[in-house]
Amino acid sequence: MSLPALRRFIAEPANIAADCLGPYTAWESSGSTGEPAIFLQDARAMSVYDALEALRRPLLRPFERLLDPWSLSERIAFVGATGGHFASTVSVERLRRLQPGLASRLRGISFLQPLERLCDELDAFDPTVLATYPSAAIVLAQEREAGRLKAAPREIWTGGETLSAAGRTFLKEVFGCPVANSYGASEFLSLAFECPLGVLHLNSDWAILEPVDAQGRAVPAGHAAATTLLTNLANHLQPLIRYDLGDRVRLLDARCGCGSHLPAIEVHGRDDDTLYLAAGAGMPAVRVVPLAASTVLEEEAGLFDFQLVQQGPRELLLRTRGQGQKMQRTLRKARAALAAFLEAQGAKGVRIECRAGESTQCGRSGKFRRVISLNAKPGDAC
């Protein structure tokens, strides 16, 4: 099959999880940092991913697993972009095809539909397990807090984006259940899972991650990386050797207290944009890293679902999908906290416009970037 033929295969939603080129599985990346890539997996690679998911995903309710080892009582909802050939979507549909008895208890639900319909669909399915992106989980938690979502999962799995400590706490408080985050990519589906202490452990027997600086030089353990190189040891059909993931991964230099021999890592994902805000006359622009802005909004104002867009040298737009009086109060608090933070950084007189109830334009996979600067390329706002 030629690349154009493979692209035609990927373009057809009816082909999701269908055999491609015979006994192979195909999916594509979200294309959040460029042109989407297409990946082919052979049966051996898929078996490795299945085994890692089955054996290394943490047991959040071990007593219930003891009583129901085959999870026959579970209803698992994956909330994502169900109409595309993305790795998570393909994996869910593949399991439904392989195990017909599981099909009624495992459902993919589109996050790209109107929020009211999404909540109605979740309420009707009433999942015991919710699997989705951290940003989507936050939105659903806000809907539940507002009384518009009744579904009460007994555990939440997140992945695909960075889950902050404040975001995790918010999810646990609203849903009243344990939360586990994982790390995976289109290039290797199951890179790392959390241990009971909440630390991510790399599946280093099947994947090699090399944190490097901007010049491609190895970064010592304990130090932040500019990007990370991946070598996939499971997929021999489409070898990936020192493939630039674009994620910022830090290898921890101390052994985790859980006793695991697998390396402990921290993942910060791909960068949002750095903001460059005007300072005083003759002064260089004030640079604000996206993680700092996000931390202020999350921890000081309790605002989790947002996009912060720089519209001018001293103009910012802070928008959220949330609505209602409580959200208006949260936005006022967020504007005050962010303004104080920016002034302390030397960016004075920054005007922050706030908008509630405004749809944030997501990418094809349902992910969206939260901090966007003037220097972003057109179309990078998702």
Domain with CATH 3.30.300 in the chain: 275-372
* Spatial CA neighbour of 136 closest among 117, 161, 106: 161
Angle between helices 115-125 and 134-145 (to 10 degrees): 80
Residue 319: partners with Cβ closer than 8 Å, 6 or more residues away: 306, 307, 309, 354, 355, 356, 358, 360
Best CA proximity match to 195, nearest among 60, 47, 61: 60
Whether the CB-CB separation of 17 and 90 falls below 8 Å is answered with: yes
DSSP element (H, E) containing 330? helix 325-344
Report the half-sphere exposure of 313 (CA within 13 A, side-chain side).
8
For 221, counting Cβ atoms within 10 Å of its Cβ (0-12 exposed, 13-18 middle, 19+ buried), the class is: middle
275-372: CATH number: 3.30.300
369: Cβ contacts below 8 Å, ≥ 6 apart: 32, 272, 273, 307, 380, 381, 382
In DSSP terms, 188 is beta-bridged to: 185
**In tens digits, what is the pLDDT along the chain, a chain of 382 residues?**
688 888 899 889 899 999 998 889 999 886 554 467 899 999 999 999 999 998 999 999 988 888 888 788 999 999 988 888 889 999 999 999 998 888 899 999 987 677 788 999 999 999 999 999 887 888 899 889 989 999 999 999 998 878 888 889 999 999 999 999 999 999 999 999 999 999 999 999 999 999 999 899 999 999 989 899 999 999 999 999 999 988 889 999 989 999 999 999 999 866 577 788 988 777 878 878 676 788 789 878 988 888 999 999 999 999 998 889 999 999 999 999 999 989 988 888 999 999 998 876 555 555 567 888 866 443 333 3
196: CB partners within 8 A, 6+ apart: 58, 258
SS3 content of the chain, % helix, strand, coil (to 5): 30, 25, 45
Cα angle, residue 326 at apex, residues 322 and 332 outer, rounded to 5°: 90
CATH (one of 3.30.1490.20, 3.40.50.12780, 1.10.3720.10, 3.40.109.10) for 3-267? 3.40.50.12780
User: What is the pTM assigned to this prediction?
Assistant: 0.76
Residue spans in the chain of domains classed CATH 3.40.50.12780: 3-267
Look-up of token digits 């392989």: 98
**H-assigned helices in 83-212:** 87-98, 100-103, 115-125, 134-145, 165-175
Q: What is the pLDDT of residue 378?
A: 35
At 380 the pLDDT is: 36
Asked whether 307 and 368 are in contact (CB, 8 A), the reply is: yes
Helix (H, G, I), strand (E, B) or coil at 266: strand
